Amino acid sequence: MIKKLQDLQQHIQQEKRKYNHLSATRMYELIQAYVKAQMQSAPIHQSERKLYYISAEFLLGKMLTSNLVNLGLLDEMQELVQKEGFAWSQIQDEEMEPSLGNGGLGRLAACFLDSIASLQRNGDGIGLYYHFGLFEQKFENNKQVELPNRWIGKTSWFTKKEVNYRVPYKNGWLKPILYDMEVIGEHGTRNTLHLFDVESVDESIVHDGIQFDKTAIEKNLTLFLYPDDSDEAGRKLRIYQQYFMVSCAAQMILEEALQHQWDLRHLHEHVIIQINDTHPTMVILELIRLLQKRGLLLAEAIEVVSGMCAYTNHTILAEALETWPYAYLQDVVPQLMNIIEALDVMMKERSKKASTAIIDANRNVHMANIDIHIGKSVNGVAAIHTDILKQSELKDFYALYPTKFNNKTNGITFRRWLSGCNTQLHHYLCDLLKKDPSSHPEILKELVKYAHDETVIADIMAIKQEKKMEWIAHMKKKQQITLNPYAVFDTQVKRLHEYKRQQMNALYIIHKLLQIRDNELPPRPINIIFGAKAACAYTIAKDIIHALLCLQELIAKDEKVSPYLQLCFIENYNVSEAEFIIPASDISEQISLASKEASGTGNMKFMLNGAVTLGTNDGANVEIAALVGQENIYTFGKDSDTVIAHYANQDYVAKDIYEGSEHVKTLVDFLISDEMLRVGDPVSLTRLHHELIHKDWFMTLLDVEEYIVCKEKMLQDYEKQTDWGRKMLMNIAMSGFFSSDRTIQEYDRDIWKLS
């Protein structure tokens, strides 16, 4: 192994002789170049069948550590760096994290790329190269401010390539540029992530934070992920982005097929496309169009494309079940309209149900309905989610195509979420279990044997303490905040959305603050930690962030409360921040309204790192509970059937709960108390207060009292330290199922059939 690093070592010594000094920046550049070269020389796994995973997001995170893990070089490289007088964190800090995703959907795509390569399957990713990605979040006056995220720097994992594709649009043609990144698997074979950019993009049109001319498509197309779509220009820009992505994908797929001399009439025997949510749906239409241009009849093209495409659904919320007005599509992609019309007519012959229409009575085009009618597979991302799709949300489709529906419970790559972010725990488990759990997740079950071994329990808890210390030092440096490392760490990190109910956690904080002021002191200090970005145009989500930041300020200034309760909101939460906070956390907050969280994947990352879940019976929490048993998880709240019935009967009235409980009323009213209004914006706080009482679409008040009781029980149980340590151990032991290697094996077995 050391031999492999010899070139790099020589290079470092040369530079040191030449300049008498080596900065962390230069050290990173040298290592990065070396690792990139290693990856580029890795063999490609060739086969007669190939997967294309198309996704609007790839939330990659920093790649240096992860690539070294997969090359089997992390330990040696860390040693080398240490010998040169650097801490590994210094080198890691030099890398900018790509800002190409928003949350779970994008991170899942990144975990999948890692597993596909590690399992030596032939599969590439295709997406867009957003110059400013998802915005960078800053806090000012207790509010979120959005800035362009300038993640593209001098050193890059991407290599620019020329392509001869052309994408039609209103004013002529767009010329794509390709950025390729090698994806290395743990056995040294590589795949590729292909991200397309447009040649004419112009970064200089962005001003005042993230404002820009939404109509200048050739200049703005690849500036941002999820540009504000609250107006017509924004929505049309989204359609342009999606079409550009899939047109490039379709051209690449056909080009590669022709290189292989694959017969286009049998393309489905060689190519499988996984459509990640509805953003890439138009690939179906574009492929049909291009196959027709190459001589296939419409019916032939539809059949071939049907056999090539599979669709993953990630949420039942309206925001992801995209519909576009027919008129917008007509304006942006006129070349696809005859195909949409033809499919609409054909599918209306299969089913007369309004719920399955491609074009509805209001002339809206339902993208998911195209995927489900035409694709060969429809999958949900956790058992309960797939059941809800079959039984309620997509039940008319399930009746029509029962064999298309299948479940693929999400997973996470242990190479990043254990080996990469928690080397202490990873090394400990490797030594104890005599096998690497990142390559052999099932070995973790052997930990159960140590459930009554107090030494092992103490070791695991000591590692948790070390990770807390590391995170506290990081936050001190990053946000100048001083936190108690001996507190219990209670963490909720995820996209900000009402259904995820960060606002319910806020009500708990108010409850605890009032208790402490009342001299009811917790047995141990509590750190409540948040990380979340709110979509720019999502007003209530921003109001929730504002309320939390106001509470943070109130508590920090309260000398009586702050020794017992601290609130820390991580600014600009991203993959790197996740890698820091998850290993340091004790409590994993997974408190979505039952039926609304498709799966969640943060829940799995926390579990693997020894945190205990506080959650509703929603998404993959249900499967976590089944694996660890009720004594190793804290569940509360109304179940999904009850929630779905409330929606159906429209009989949930938040105000009744607010008026019926003195306690709840006190907590909610605190949002507009004088002390909150002194540090906050009255308009925002009043709007949130009003929303909770008069709307509360995601039923915060329905579960809040049970939530508080459950969390109190958890905090009490935390004091029985050995029992708590056993719960940590059992969570780690049972987490093997959530390896994305398992998920990918299932996709391959049931849908892709690559091997």
Catalytic annotation present for 160? no
Q: Which residue, 129 or 738, is less far from ligand 26V as judged by CB?
A: 738
d(CA 754, CA 48): 8
Q: Which residue, 572 or 599, is less far from ligand 26V as judged by CB?
A: 599
User: Could you say which DSSP state residue 2 is in?
Assistant: G
Q: Which of 102, 251, 407, 413 binds ligand 26V (CB under 6 A)?
A: 102
Binding segment toward ligand 26V, per CB under 6 A, in 100-108, 414-422, 643-651, 655-663: 100-108
Binding segment toward ligand 26V, per CB under 6 A, in 311-319, 567-575, 637-645, 721-729: 311-319
**Contacts for 148-151: CB closer than 8 Å, 24+ residues apart:** 148/206, 148/209, 148/210, 148/223, 148/224, 149/99, 151/96, 151/97, 151/98, 151/99
By CB under 6 A, is residue 135 in contact with ligand 26V? no
Q: What is the DSSP string of 176-202?
A: EEEEEEEEE-TTS-EEEEEEEEETT--
User: Could you say which DSSP state residue 596 is in?
Assistant: S
Q: Which residue, 240 or 670, is less far from ligand 26V as judged by CB?
A: 240
User: Which residue in 426, 605, 638, 727 is the catalytic one?
Assistant: 605
Q: What is the DSSP string of 86-126?
A: --HHHHHHTSPPP----SHHHHHHHHHHHHHHHTT--EEEE
- In the range 392-421, which residues lie near ligand 26V by CB under 6 A? 410
Catalytic annotation present for 270? no
Query: How many C-beta atoms surround the C-beta of residue 727 within 10 A?
Result: 26
User: Which residue in 50, 194, 214, 495 is the catalytic one?
Assistant: 495
Q: Which of 619, 637, 725, 736 binds ligand 26V (CB under 6 A)?
A: 619
Q: Which residue, 490 or 597, is less far from ligand 26V as judged by CB?
A: 597
Which residues are within 8 A (CB) of 275 and not within 5 positions of it... i.e. 6 or more apart?
Answer: 54, 281, 283, 284, 309, 310, 311, 312, 371, 375
717, burial (CB in 10 Å: exposed 0-12, middle 13-18, buried 19+): middle
Q: Which residue, 136 or 597, is less far from ligand 26V as judged by CB?
A: 597
- In the range 8-37, which residues lie near ligand 26V by CB under 6 A? none
CB 389 within 8 A of CB 398: yes
3-state secondary structure of 642: helix
Binding segment toward ligand 26V, per CB under 6 A, in 97-105, 118-126, 202-210, 462-470: 97-105
d(CA 114, CA 122): 12
Show the beta-strand stretches assigned E in 432-560.
488-493, 526-531
Q: Which of 39, 221, 598, 730 binds ligand 26V (CB under 6 A)?
A: 598
By CB under 6 A, is residue 606 in contact with ligand 26V? no
By CB under 6 A, is residue 105 in contact with ligand 26V? yes
To ligand 26V, the closest distance from the beta carbon of 723 in angstroms equals 30
To ligand 26V, the closest distance from the beta carbon of 743 in angstroms equals 10
d(CA 224, CA 206): 10
- In the range 538-567, which residues lie near ligand 26V by CB under 6 A? none
Report the relative pairing of strands 271-276 and 309-312 from DSSP bridges. parallel
Q: Which of 364, 599, 632, 735 binds ligand 26V (CB under 6 A)?
A: 599
d(CA 116, CA 505): 37
By CB under 6 A, is residue 103 in contact with ligand 26V? yes
Catalytic annotation present for 695? no
By CB under 6 A, is residue 535 in contact with ligand 26V? yes
By CB under 6 A, is residue 484 in contact with ligand 26V? no
Report the relative pairing of strands 158-162 and 143-147 from DSSP bridges. unpaired
Run of H or E including 159: strand 158-162
Q: Which of 601, 613, 621, 740 binds ligand 26V (CB under 6 A)?
A: 601
By CB under 6 A, is residue 638 in contact with ligand 26V? no
- List active site positions: 314, 494-495, 500, 601, 605
Binding site residues, ligand 26V, CB under 6 A: 102-105, 108, 226, 277, 314-315, 319-320, 381, 410, 535, 597-601, 619
